[in-house]
Amino acid sequence: MILKNIWKISFVAVLVIGSNFAAHAEWKSANGPLMTRWAKEVSPKNVHQEYPRPQMVRKEWLNLNGLWDYSVLPLANAQPTSFEGQILVPFPIESALSGVMKRLDEHSTLWYHRTFNIPKGWDQKRVLLHFGAVDWRTTVYVNGKELGIHTGGYDGFSFDITDALKPEGAQEIVVAVFDPTDPNQARGKQVRNPKGIYYTPTSGIWQTVWLEPVSAAAIQDIKVTPDVDASQVKLKLNSKSSGQGVEVVVLAGHKEIARMTGNANEELIIPIKSPKLWSPSQPFLYDLKVKLKQENQTVDEVSSYFGMRKTCMQKDEKGINRIMLNGKFLFQVGTLDQGFWPDGLYTAPSDEALRYDIEVLKKLGFNMTRKHVKVEPDRWYYWCDKMGLLVWQDMPSGDNKTAESKTEFESELSRMMAGLHNHPCIVTWVVFNEGWGQYDTERLTEWVKKTDPTRIVDNASGWTDKNVGDLVDMHKYPGPGSPTNEPNRAAVLGEFGGLGLGVDGHTWSKQTWGYQGMADSRKLTRKYVSLFSKAWTMKDDGLCALVYTQTTDVETECNGLMTYDRAIMKLDNKQAMAANLGKTKVPEMKVVLPNAQYDKVYWKYTFETPAAGWFKPDFDASTWKEGRAGFGTRTTPGAIAKTEWKTADIWLRREFTLGKEKIKSPMLEMHHDDNVEVYLNGVLAAKVAGFISDYSDFEIEPAAAATLQPGTNTIAVHCHQAGGGQYIDVGLLSAPDSKVGKR
């Protein structure tokens, strides 16, 4: 089977490398804030040795990963003649696994240098130098000859270095990288000067570098497009030369099921009799053998694979727009996945680590992930193809405020789509995220849809919808929620959850953040199950997909299912999997004390710091004002603001009456922006940091819950506004079998 042969080819390549790679100096990782268990296995001899391009595999290749010389010099400086140290490629210079862990600023150039020898048998062929990805502007030299410049941090590129090679002996490669991590670059959540939640920049080579020998007439790329309705696959082999023949063999396992001949640079239509369809539950992949021929002689040959799957929009029996996979509605349940690693940043420590995240998601019952403002190496998508994980692919974001940056954004968007086209796992393109650098949305969405009509297009995930594309996409924290059904688009929940729990010894820094903090794993699991149970109830009313934030913690964000080092799963696996599969049902709570969602509710309030004991039942608040809940600004997401609050702090008090029946499992239901503390009858009931964008329930401290009694009770609240929106509203809930008193 060709997919299995990829591993055999990788092993052969390692042997070739061992005979040609220069002697390794002693190397060790830098001391990063947090490391994964895979980091200790990384060395210059074994770093990312797998063939990097599983959908276009050649048998001969030479891996150039390992130790390179490096220097960081001012922009005005010429190419260095000596170097300050060694860096482990392909890890970004800012990462611990690079061995350097140094920031590259906008005033400097990162220079790489190494030598290699051409293997025997390559002397009659053209030699290609491939880069999986380099961030950001890259100039490549071989033996002193400049070969070209590539701009962009996420797509692969190649140079034919044949004419620059010396007849014999060591060959020299020099690579110069400029990466200002400028706001106008497409750079996702990397930023030079952090404002809000942004991550460590990643600069330089961050994917595999390798060499390949090819004939003068070689395959440049192949484009494979399944057509499930017609039981066929469309294939186009692109080559610089014309008049060449193409032979394609399709295999299911070891069995040949189709063979087709034709011409290069022309589309071939290959019938696939009774096709086995690709899906998350049955990710069947067909193997491909593709030959390029000239005068009946094979001049180039690659192996590949494809999946037969169809994704489209269609109305169900209720007239609701649904996202269909192979003609059937599949409720897509996934996570936001940012693809960061504490030791490698943009680069996973190993292929095993890269695969691990996907395995975890599959074991937890997820069928989809949203790759958030990052493009991964081809091998990540290969594992999604092989294991059956649907992918929503974001375009990395920039500010896009200049004509030059917009041109670059559109160029990189085009290259991303072309480079990832053949992966069956990718079912949705996401053009913009939350308004980051958003412009010309209607035009770009139409262009994406026209360029690739085989996939769903999300014009903007969350808050900045322009009423185009296939999806209306809501973000709601912690949520869940569902957009209003539309005649021509499907409703999806592009982000929700964000439940935070930092685990001592497994955090990037002492500072951690989540949309809603959880005290421990038990409370996190309970809340998680509750969110998913509610989300699944929205499916029948029109919700087509949901994306939970997020797969892992990332730097100071602690709202992952796993810690940033992938060492600890924070949730109870069995309960989480049942919730993800829609197999749990949480009873709806009863309202004991309504908030602004249910009734006209009035509180005593003050913006002036009150006297000590302001939260106690006997405190005299007669001088405080009275206002209707909620309190805040109307522009705050999820707010029902009836009384304006614009100062830094607000204090609230209210009395309520309970009957004789005992309140069972009381919970607070509140929307807070930002930090809040709530007291029941003078006892602290909850203290929550940060903000959320919707109403959510919170556990009450047992000591405070025990104070609830028949007759008059007091609830007191203090909320502090730290920046951005501001809002506070609080109510009280109870388990459904308890009887409640007067409101």
Q: What is the DSSP string of 697-710?
A: EEEPPHHHHTT--S
At residue 428, the pLDDT reads: 98
Confidence of residue 2 (pLDDT cuts 50, 70, 90): very low
Which pair of structure tokens corresponds to residue 450? 């026209």
CATH topology assigned to domain 590-734: Jelly Rolls (2.60.120)
CATH topology assigned to domain 331-580: TIM Barrel (3.20.20)
Sheet (strand 490-497) strand order: 456-461, 426-433, 390-394, 368-371, 332-337, 543-549, 490-497, 471-476
> Which amino acid, one-letter code, is at 57?
V
At residue 17, the pLDDT reads: 37
202 secondary structure, DSSP code: -
- How far apart CA 552 and CA 560 sit, in angstroms, is 4
* Least confident window among 635-639, 684-688, 737-741: 737-741
647 pLDDT above the threshold of 50: yes
- How far apart CA 686 and CA 676 sit, in angstroms, is 8
Reduce the DSSP state of residue 16 to 3 states and report it.
helix
At residue 139, the pLDDT reads: 98
Query: How is the chain split into domains, by residue range?
Result: 2-214, 219-306, 331-580, 590-734
* pLDDT, tens digit (0-9, with 9 covering 90-100), for 14-36: 333 333 344 445 889 999 999 99
Q: Are 44 and 24 in contact (CB under 8 A)?
A: yes
Which pair of structure tokens corresponds to residue 296? 């009946």
676 pLDDT above the threshold of 80: yes
Q: Mean of the pLDDT values across residues 393-414?
A: 96
- How far apart CA 428 and CA 181 sit, in angstroms, is 27
How many beta carbons lie within 10 A of that of residue 134, not counting itself?
29
Domains 2-214 and 590-734 share a fold: yes
- How far apart CA 686 and CA 50 sit, in angstroms, is 51
Reduce the DSSP state of residue 125 to 3 states and report it.
coil
* pLDDT, tens digit (0-9, with 9 covering 90-100), for 520-558: 999 999 999 999 999 999 999 999 999 999 999 999 999
- How far apart CA 437 and CA 428 sit, in angstroms, is 20
Class in CATH terms, 219-306: mainly beta
Which pair of structure tokens corresponds to residue 551? 């797969």
- How far apart CA 554 and CA 552 sit, in angstroms, is 6
* Least confident window among 25-34, 94-103, 267-276: 25-34
**Mean pLDDT for the chain?**
93
* Least confident window among 401-410, 492-501, 729-738: 729-738
* For helices 403-420 and 441-451, angle between their N-to-C axes, nearest 10 degrees: 20
- How far apart CA 350 and CA 607 sit, in angstroms, is 54
At residue 741, the pLDDT reads: 36
242 pLDDT above the threshold of 90: no
Q: Mean of the pLDDT values across residues 450-473?
A: 97
395 pLDDT above the threshold of 60: yes
Q: Are 619 and 663 in contact (CB under 8 A)?
A: no
* pLDDT, tens digit (0-9, with 9 covering 90-100), for 571-628: 999 999 999 999 998 888 899 999 999 999 999 999 999 999 999 999 999 999 999 9
* Least confident window among 145-159, 218-232, 328-342, 681-695: 681-695
Q: Which residue spans within 286-414 are E strands per DSSP?
A: 286-294, 297-306, 311-315, 321-325, 328-329, 332-337, 368-371, 390-394
- C-alpha closest to that of 131 among 160, 163, 157: 157
- CA distances for 695 relative to 52, 570, 582, angstroms: 46, 23, 22
Confidence of residue 195 (pLDDT cuts 50, 70, 90): low
At residue 229, the pLDDT reads: 98
Query: How is the chain split among helix, strand and coil, in percent rounded to 5?
Result: 15, 35, 50
Q: Mean of the pLDDT values across residues 417-437?
A: 97
Reduce the DSSP state of residue 378 to 3 states and report it.
helix
Domain 2-214 sits in CATH at 2.60.120.260
The enclosing H or E element of 543 equals strand 543-549
Which pair of structure tokens corresponds to residue 180? 């200002």
Question: pTM (2 decimals)?
Answer: 0.91
> Which amino acid, one-letter code, is at 319?
G
- How far apart CA 257 and CA 548 sit, in angstroms, is 40
Q: Are 69 and 112 in contact (CB under 8 A)?
A: yes
At residue 690, the pLDDT reads: 86
Which pair of structure tokens corresponds to residue 86? 């060694």
- How far apart CA 608 and CA 610 sit, in angstroms, is 6
Which pair of structure tokens corresponds to residue 465? 């919808």
Place of tokens 């994964």: 36
At residue 9, the pLDDT reads: 36
389 pLDDT above the threshold of 50: yes
4 pLDDT above the threshold of 80: no
Quick one: what percent of the chain has pLDDT higher than 90?
A: 87
| CA end-to-end distance (rounded Å), the chain | 69
At residue 721, the pLDDT reads: 94
Query: Taking the C-alpha atoms of 322, 325, 331 and 333 in order, what is their torsion angle to the nearest 10 degrees?
Result: -130
* pLDDT, tens digit (0-9, with 9 covering 90-100), for 479-504: 999 999 999 999 999 999 999 999 99
* For helices 521-537 and 573-580, angle between their N-to-C axes, nearest 10 degrees: 10
At residue 586, the pLDDT reads: 82
Q: Are 572 and 525 in contact (CB under 8 A)?
A: yes
130 pLDDT above the threshold of 80: yes
737 pLDDT above the threshold of 70: no
Confidence of residue 75 (pLDDT cuts 50, 70, 90): very high
The half-sphere exposure of 621 on its side-chain side, counting CA atoms within 13 A, is 28
User: Greatest CA separation found in the chain?
Assistant: 98
Radius of gyration of the chain (CA): 29
- C-alpha closest to that of 473 among 438, 538, 485, 463: 463
87 pLDDT above the threshold of 80: yes
254 pLDDT above the threshold of 70: yes
Contacts of residue 462, Cβ cutoff 8 Å, sequence gap at least 6: 433, 434, 473, 474, 475, 494, 495
- C-alpha closest to that of 493 among 510, 480, 507, 478: 480
Q: Mean of the pLDDT values across residues 391-397?
A: 97
